[in-house]
Amino acid sequence: MCGYQKNHCCGSGQEMTQGIIADPQKDEERRRKMSKAKNGENPPMLGRHPSEESRKKMSAARKGKPRSEETRKKMSEAKNGKRSPMSGRHSSEETRRELSAAPKGVQSSEEIQREKQAAHQLHLMRRFQQKLTEAIYGKNRAGMYVHSASHPTWS
52-68 pLDDT, tens per residue?
999 999 999 989 889 99
Torsion angles phi and psi, residue 103, rounded to 5? -80, -10
Phi, psi dihedral angles at 9 (to 5 degrees)? -115, 145
Residue 133, number of CB atoms within 10 A of its CB: 21
Residue 25 within a domain: yes
Does any domain span residue 131? yes
Going by pLDDT thresholds of 50, 70 and 90, the confidence category of residue 101 is confident
d(CA 62, CA 17): 45
Domain presence at residue 78: no
Distance (Å, whole) CA 100 – CA 104: 7
In our burial notation (b when 16+ CB lie closer than 10 A, e otherwise), range 85-97 reads eeeeeeeeeeeee
Quick check: is 70 in a domain? no
Quote the number of domains for the chain.
2
Which helix (H) or strand (E) element contains residue 119? helix 110-137
More confident residue, 95 or 137: 95
pTM of the full structure: 0.28
Q: Write out the residue range of the structural domain in which residue 137 sits.
A: 110-142
Assess if residue 134 is contained within a domain: yes
Residue 130 domain-assigned (yes or no): yes
Specify if 11 maps to a domain. Answer: yes
Residue 28 is assigned to a structural domain of this protein: yes
Range in 12-16, 62-66, 128-132 the model is least confident about: 12-16
Q: Are 14 and 21 in contact (CB under 8 A)?
A: yes
